[in-house]
Amino acid sequence: MAEDVTNNQNQGEGKGSFFKSLSAGAWAGIVAAALVVGLLIGHFAMGGSSAGGSLNKTTLTESELDTVVAVYSYNGAGSNITAREVLEQNGTLDAAKDEDGNYTVPSADTILSYARNAIIAAEADSKGIEVTDDDLSAYAEEMLGSSDFSSIASTYGMDEDTVKEVLRGSAKMNKLRDEVVGKDNGGTAPEAPTAPEVAAPAEGEEQSEEAQQAAQDAANDAPKKEYADYIIKLAGDEWDAKKGKWKSDDGAYATALADYEVTKDGASYNAAQAAYYVAYQEYSTKQTEISEKWTDYVNGLLGNSAIDIHTLKS
């Protein structure tokens, strides 16, 4: 049978601050999942390996960490997955140890994630994709805001070699994704226009909420060059700079802003907001297309794979 695995990867601005705010366990899990960038539904054939087997226990001693917890195959080649590999992918062994000095057998979901990432990494290797030390440092700076691997490891309760290994794998998958969907990745999300400020009532002067709202509405409707510049920049080729108007009345921006007056010298905040919605919708559509393209590619890889998990945990 086939199992659907969904993995959500946060993308966008503020990656560094986002990752820095995570706990050690959460960071480890997300970085492991980051090997598959974007929304992913992976189709794995279950029980396809000839090895078979099950574990009649839910914990392992330190001497049992090299126990095989799953076997997966990709393009006809089989590989074992040990408990140690899965646990180290998600943090240090010390952090995984319970109060009795034992280790919980990795769950099926965690093993699936490990196998999926390993398969995609193998595909990247087959294409000759490499991550140099400089690439690794740049990727760490982008994702975590730092390339001090010792500090990163200390912050997230992992050893330095594991941090480098996981980030290198993630960077490699990012390069593979760039090859599949294109390096521009759909561009960046547009920034919303800044609302005009309305002067607050003078000290000792009272103003009703209705009056305050009326003042804000008037400011939002008032034409300003900064909003015209904002709209024209977003509209790009839809704006005729020589004539100072829309090239066509049926363009996306011209249609959305049909009820607003836009000139090269001025436009309202409300018009700028309408332009922002158009830009964001275009960005969102591109991101969806890219996500679907990457998902289809990865599903194609996993469709040639099989995994047999030896665990009692779901």
DSSP label at 21? T
Strands 2-7 and 40-46: antiparallel
Q: Is residue 201 part of a domain?
A: no
Higher model confidence: residue 3 or residue 283?
Answer: 283
Q: Is residue 230 part of a domain?
A: yes
Mean pLDDT of 193-205: 85
pLDDT attached to residue 301:
87
Domain, as residue range, for 129: 2-186+295-309
Per-residue pLDDT tens over the stretch 139-168: 888 888 889 999 988 887 777 888 888 888
Q: CA 118: distance to chain centroid? A: 19
pLDDT attached to residue 53:
53
User: Is there a single domain that holds both residue 151 and residue 220?
Assistant: no
pLDDT attached to residue 3:
36
In the predicted model, is pLDDT for residue 280 greater than 90? yes
Total-model pTM: 0.69
- State the total domains in the chain: 2
In the predicted model, is pLDDT for residue 271 greater than 50? yes
User: Is there a single domain that holds both residue 7 and residue 57?
Assistant: yes
Mean pLDDT of 176-202: 87
- What is the pLDDT confidence band of residue 56, given thresholds at 50, 70 and 90? confident
Contact criterion met (CB below 8 Å) for 97 and 103: yes
User: Is there a single domain that holds both residue 64 and residue 161?
Assistant: yes
Distance set, CA 237 to CA 154, 161, 240, 254 (Å):
50, 49, 7, 11
Q: Is residue 197 part of a domain?
A: no
pLDDT attached to residue 54:
60
d(Cα 119, Cα 21) in Å, to the nearest integer? 30
Other CB atoms within 10 Å distance of the CB of residue 12: 9
User: Is there a single domain that holds both residue 121 and residue 86?
Assistant: yes
Question: Nearest Cα to 87, choosing from 57, 66, 73?
Answer: 66
d(Cα 250, Cα 271) in Å, to the nearest integer? 17
Any alpha helices (H) in the chain, and if so which ranges? 15-20, 24-33, 83-89, 93-96, 108-126, 133-144, 149-155, 160-181, 209-221, 225-235, 252-256, 269-302
Summary mean pLDDT of the chain: 81
User: Is there a single domain that holds both residue 66 and residue 173?
Assistant: yes
Residues pairing with 78 in the sheet: 73
Residues pairing with 2 in the sheet: 45
Q: Is residue 45 part of a domain?
A: yes
